[in-house]
C-alpha cells in the first residue's frame, strides 16, 4: 500500500433512505474528512424510527456473515486502518464483526477499532437485550475507542451515572483506552458536554444546550473523533474540534427548523468549526491517588 494513501475505514451501522443518522452520517463525515469508506448496513430503514413507523429491512444473518467474510479476505483488506461500528439489526451480526476485527488487527498492527454502542438513551434500551449484551461482551473488549452516551455507559456498567466522577469511574472500567462519553453532566448552566477518558486524562468539552435536536449527533461525534485521531491530532484537540463541529451543525440545523442534521449544507464545519467550546480538565483518579 502506498504510504501516502489515506487510511480506509470500514463503517458498519444502520442505513436510512432519508436523513442523517447511522451510516448516512458516519460515511458522509469520514469521506468529507478525506477517508475512503467501506460501508455495510446492518439494517435499512426509510427514516429514523423517531419520525414514525416504517418498513425495516434486516440483512439475513447468514448473508451478513458471508459479506463480512468477503470483506475480511478481500485483496483490499490490507488498506483498512480503522473500523467503526454503531447500530446492529440482530445479535447474530455481532460475532462475525468481532471475528473480522480480530483478523484485521492481526493483519494490520495498529488498526483502530471504534465501538459506538448504539443501544439506548434516557428512555432505556431501544435494541434487544441480546444485541446490547453481544456488543458489551464481544465488541467492547476489542475496542480502542468507545463512544457511549451517558445512559448507554450506565447500562454497560450496571450503575446509575448521576455525576461526572461516576462517569469517569465507569468509563475507566469499561476497557477501551479512549472512552468518549456524550451527554455527560454539564458544569456550566444550560450546557451539555462530552467527557473524554484515557488512562491519564479526563477532559470535559461543553457547549450550550440546544433544544429539539435532530437525531444523529452521536453517530457524527464518533466519526469525527475517529477521523481527527487518524489524522494524528492530539486527544485534547480532537475532542475540542469534534465537539465544536457537532454543536455548530446542530445549532445551524435547528435554526433552519430542520428535522434532520443538514450535513450537506454545513459540511465545512467538519474541518473548520468556529463555535466556542469550553474545555475543562477534571480530576483523574490516577492523579488523585498520587496526592
Give pLDDT tens digits for 10-34. Answer: 999 999 999 999 999 999 999 999 9
pLDDT along the chain (291 residues), means of 10: 74 97 98 98 96 94 98 97 98 98 97 98 93 98 98 95 95 97 92 95 95 94 98 97 97 95 95 94 79 53
- The per-residue pLDDT for 122 is 86
pLDDT for the residue numbered 291: 53
How far apart are alpha carbons 173 and 155 in whole angstroms? 13
How far does CA 232 lie from the centroid of its chain?
Answer: 18
In Å, how far from its chain's centre is CA 153? 13
What are the CA-CA distances from residue 21 to residues 12, 16, 29, 40, 223 (Å)? 12, 7, 11, 14, 11
| Cα 235–Cα 240–Cα 244 angle in degrees, nearest 5 | 150
Nearest residue to 182 via CA among 159, 215, 158: 215
Residue 290: the pLDDT is 60
- Residue among 42, 25, 53, 20 at smallest CA distance from 227: 25
The full set of domains in the chain, from first to last, is 8-290 (3.40.1190.20)
Do 181 and 171 meet the contact criterion of CB atoms below 8 Å apart? yes
First to last CA, the chain: 48
Integer Cα distance of 220 and 24 in angstroms: 9
pLDDT at 80: 98
pLDDT at 4: 64
Predicted pLDDT at 123: 85
pLDDT computed for residue 5 by the predictor: 75
Q: Do 167 and 178 form a contact (C-beta atoms < 8 A)?
A: no
* Backbone angles phi and psi of 192, in degrees to 5: -150, 155
**Residue 2 confidence (pLDDT):** 44
Neighbours of 218 (CB within 10 A): 24
Amino acid at each position: 500500500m502506498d504510504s501516502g494513501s489515506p487510511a480506509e475505514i470500514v463503517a458498519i451501522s444502520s442505513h436510512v433512505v432519508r436523513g442523517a443518522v447511522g451510516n448516512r452520517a458516519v460515511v458522509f463525515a469520514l469521506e468529507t474528512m478525506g477517508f475512503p469508506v467501506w460501508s455495510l448496513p446492518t439494517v435499512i430503514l426509510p427514516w429514523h424510527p423517531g419520525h414514525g413507523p416504517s418498513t425495516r429491512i434486516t440483512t439475513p444473518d447468514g448473508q451478513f456473515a458471508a459479506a463480512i467474510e468477503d470483506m475480511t479476505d478481500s485483496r483490499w483488506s490490507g488498506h483498512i486502518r480503522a473500523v467503526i461500528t454503531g447500530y446492529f439489526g440482530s445479535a447474530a451480526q455481532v460475532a462475525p464483526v468481532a471475528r473480522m476485527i480480530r483478523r484485521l488487527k492481526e493483519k494490520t498492527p495498529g488498526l483502530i477499532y471504534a465501538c459506538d454502542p448504539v443501544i439506548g438513551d434516557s428512555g432505556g434500551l431501544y435494541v434487544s437485550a441480546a444485541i446490547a449484551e453481544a456488543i458489551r461482551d464481544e465488541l467492547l473488549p476489542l475496542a480502542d475507542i468507545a463512544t457511549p452516551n451517558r445512559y448507554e455507559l450506565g447500562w454497560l456498567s450496571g450503575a446509575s451515572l448521576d455525576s461526572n466522577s461516576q462517569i469517569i469511574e465507569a468509563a475507566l472500567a469499561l476497557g477501551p483506552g479512549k472512552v468518549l462519553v456524550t451527554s455527560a453532566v454539564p458544569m456550566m448552566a444550560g450546557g451539555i458536554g462530552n467527557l473524554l477518558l484515557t488512562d491519564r486524562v479526563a477532559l470535559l468539552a461543553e457547549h450550550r444546550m440546544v433544544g429539539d435536536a435532530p437525531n444523529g449527533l452521536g453517530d457524527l461525534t464518533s466519526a469525527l473523533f475517529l477521523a481527527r485521531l487518524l489524522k494524528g491530532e492530539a486527544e485534547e484537540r480532537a475532542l475540542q474540534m469534534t465537539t465544536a463541529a457537532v454543536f455548530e451543525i446542530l445549532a445551524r440545523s435547528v435554526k433552519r427548523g430542520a428535522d434532520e442534521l443538514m450535513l450537506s449544507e454545513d459540511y465545512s464545519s467538519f474541518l473548520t468549526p468556529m463555535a466556542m467550546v469550553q474545555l475543562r480538565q477534571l480530576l483523574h483518579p490516577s492523579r488523585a491517588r498520587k496526592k
